[in-house]
Amino acid sequence: MSIIATEHAPRKKINGGVLLLLVGLIIAPWLASAAGGNYWVRVIDFTLLYIMLALGLNIVVGFTGLLDMGFIAFYAVGAYLAALLASPHLLDVFPALQSMFPAGLHTSYLLLVPLAALIAGVFGILLGAPTLGLRGDYLAIVTLGFGEIIRILMRNLDRPVNITNGAKGISGVDTLSLFGVQFRGVFHLFGMKMPALYLWYYLFAVLIIAIVMVCIRLQRSRIGRAWHAIREDEDVARAMGINIRNYKLLAFALGASFGGLAGVMFASFQGFVSPESFTLQESIVVLAMVVLGGIGHVPGVILGAVLLSALPEVLRSQAIPLQQALFGTVVIDPEILRQLFYGLALVLVMLFRPHGLWPARQQGGKA
C-alpha cells in the first residue's frame, strides 16, 4: 500500500504544479493590467515573442551545440514575408497587381504562418549547408555575417525597385484574423472588457506550449539523441555512424522555422517592420537568453527569456522614481542604468552559474 502511495505522490505533485501554472498563465494579463495598465500586458506579449525565438535558437545552440550568432535573420524573414504579403506596399510599388487584387493583398495568416516557417527553414538550410565543416568561433563569425547580410539587404532593397521600403520600413501590415476574429480593438467577454492585447497574449501562450511540446519530443527522440552526440563530440558521433550533415541541417531548418513563425507574429502584432528591429544586438540578446537560462534545457531557456526581456523593462520603469526618492533628482539615465545592470547580471551569472540559472541535470548536477 505504501509503495502505491509513493508512486502516485509525484504524479499528484506534477499535476498540481501544471494546474497552478495554467491558472497563472490564464490570469497573468489581468494581473499585469491591474498592476500597471495595458503597457505591462504589451511587455508580457513581447516577452512571449522572445521566448519563441529563444526556443528556436536553443535547438541549434542547446541541442546541437552550433554557435549561431545570426538567428535574428530568420525572425526578419518571417516578419518581412508577412509585411509584403499582408500590406498595401507591393500594390503601391507594382500597379499591375492592383488589377489582380482589387480588394488588396490581404493574405490569410493561416497561409502565412506555414509559408513563413517553410521559407525560414529553407534559409536555415542555406546557412547551414556552407558551414557544415565549421565549429566554434568560425561558425559564430559566419552566422554573424549571415545575419548582417539579411539586415543590410532589407535596408537596401528599396532601389532600383522598392521591395522593402529601405530604412523607412513597411507599415499598414494587416492585423491577425483567425476564424473571423480580428486581433484589434476591445472585446467584451462575459460582461468584461478585454483589449486585443489579451488575445495576443493567449495566442502567443498557445504557440509557446506547442513549441515546447515539439522541443521536448525532439529532445527525447532519436533525433535529439543524435543532436546531443554531435554537441558532445562531433568526431565520435561521426564514428558511431551518425549522419552529421543531415542532422545539422535539420537543426538549422527547425530552429529557423520557429524564428520565421515568431517573425510573422511580430509583424502582425506591431503592424510595422523595419531593419532596425533585426540588428546584431537582438541576436546577441536571444543568445544570452539561452545561455543565461541553461543551454539545452527548455524550462531554463524560458526562464532566461523572461528575465532578460521583462526585468529590464521593470528596471527602466522604476529607475526614475527610485532615484528621485533617494537623491531628489535623476542621477543616471534609466537606459544607461538598465544596460549597466543588464551586463553586470550576465557577468555574475557566468561567474557563479556557468551552466545557467536552470541547467539540465547532466550539465549541472541537480537542476
C-alpha to C-alpha distance for 41 and 28, rounded to whole angstroms: 8
| pLDDT for the residue 328 | 83
Size of the chain in residues: 367
C-alpha to C-alpha distance for 137 and 89, rounded to whole angstroms: 39
Please give the DSSP secondary-structure letter assigned to residue 168.
G
C-alpha to C-alpha distance for 322 and 336, rounded to whole angstroms: 15
What does pTM read for this prediction?
0.91
| pLDDT for the residue 10 | 54
| pLDDT for the residue 13 | 54
| Exposure string over 41-69, b if 16+ CB within 10 A, otherwise e | bbbbbbbbbbbbbbbbbbbbbbbbbbbbb
C-alpha to C-alpha distance for 278 and 272, rounded to whole angstroms: 13
| pLDDT for the residue 362 | 57
The three-class DSSP label of residue 192 is strand
* 280-293 and 334-352 helices, crossing angle to 10°: 40
The three-class DSSP label of residue 170 is strand
| pLDDT for the residue 12 | 57
| pLDDT for the residue 2 | 46
| pLDDT for the residue 354 | 87
| pLDDT for the residue 289 | 94
Residue ranges of the chain whose pLDDT lies below 50: 1-7, 363-367
